[in-house]
Structures are given as C-alpha cells and as structure tokens.
Amino acid sequence: MKKIILLLALFLGISSTAMAQQKLGHINSDELLALMPETKAAQAELEKYGKQLEKDMADMETELSTKIEQFRSNESMMTTTSRELKTKELQDLQGRIQQFSQRAQQDLQQKQQELFAPIIEKATKAIQDVAREKGFTYILDSSETRGVLLFAEGGEDIMPLVKAKLGIQ
C-alpha cells in the first residue's frame, strides 16, 4: 500500500512539474480571419460568383415560366402529340433547373474552399510560427464556430502576436 501511495505521489509530482512547463495560448481564429485583408477580397469574389449563379438560375426560371405561359395559352389548340412533347420539354427544363441548382451549390462551396484555403493556411502558419517563436506548447482556438476552449483564465491570447506577424493593425 505504501508503494502505491509513493508511486502515486511521485506520479503526481512529475505530472505537476510537466504541466508547469507547459505554455498555453489561445486565439480566436474567426476574428483573425475576419481581420485579414485577403478575407475581404475572397468574400467579395465569392459573393460576385454567387450572384452570377443566382442570375443564371433566375434566367432559367424565367425561361421556364415563359414556356409554361405559352403552353397554357396554346394548349387548347395543340394536338395530343404536340401537347405530350411540350409537356416533356417543360419537365426536362424543370429537371435541368433542379440539376443546375444542386450543381450551383456544389460549385459555390468549391469556390469558397478554393478562395479561403490559402488564407486559412497563411493564418495557420503565422499561428504556428508565433507559437514556436514564443515557446508555446499548445494553442487553443477560442472562436465560437470552431472553438475548443471552454474557459480561458491563464494562458495567453496570442492574437496581438499573430496580427503583428501578418502585418495587421
């Protein structure tokens, strides 16, 4: 029993010594990304791309509405075969619109990834560089969307150091 207590005391002593040597820091990565000028440019480009997709979608929907109106106004004069062909044409157009909508969402997500990946990579590198330069063992993300930090008393907010590294005021 004495050996167990002695081993436990020794382990706790080593653990507390090891913990005392750890240097913890935290940063709000959402805030950092929002401060980076590249983010504003990427967001503007993404919005422009999204608006073009919306315009293309609206044009297709307008075309469908126009064709539906034409169909309804001429339906009584159409032959059965003609009516079936026009109905099939309208259904095909509606299917293409649905496919376009799904593809547009995927394209927008892909564009966002393409635009923001280099920015996130740059921020991550700056955080890692600051952590190494200042001797941090761990850096936790305190942002609301990605945060893993539930409580921050102690540790050091490295935002000012990373902003300086990136040249952000």
Consecutive 10-residue averages of pLDDT for the chain (169 residues): 40 49 86 94 97 97 96 92 95 96 97 97 93 87 74 71 87
* pLDDT at residue 153, as a whole number: 54
The residue type at 62: T
- What gap in Å lies between CA 104 and CA 27, rounded to an integer? 34
Does the residue 5 lie in any domain?
no
Structural domain contains residue 68: yes
With vertex at residue 128, the alpha carbon angle to CA 144 and CA 154, rounded to the nearest 5 degrees, is 55
Distance in angstroms (rounded) separating the CA atoms of residues 85 and 162? 64
DSSP class per residue in 141-167:
E--TTT---S--SSSEE-HHHHHHHHT
pTM of the predicted structure, to 2 decimals: 0.70
Residue 119 lies in a domain: yes
Residue 38 lies inside a defined structural domain of this protein: yes
**pLDDT score at 12:** 47
Q: Is residue 26 part of a domain?
A: yes
Task: Please give the residue range of the domain that contains residue 149.
Answer: 22-166
CATH number of the domain to which 49 belongs: 3.30.910.20
Q: How many domains does the chain have?
A: 1
Cβ pair 142, 149 in contact under 8 A:
yes
Residues 6+ apart with CB under 8 A from 117: none
Q: How far apart are CA 6 and CA 77, in angstroms?
A: 99
10 falls within a domain: no
Asked if residue 17 belongs to a domain, the reply is no
Note the pLDDT of residue 81. 95
The pLDDT assigned to 140 comes to 86
Residue 148 confidence (pLDDT): 65
Query: Does some domain include residue 6?
Result: no
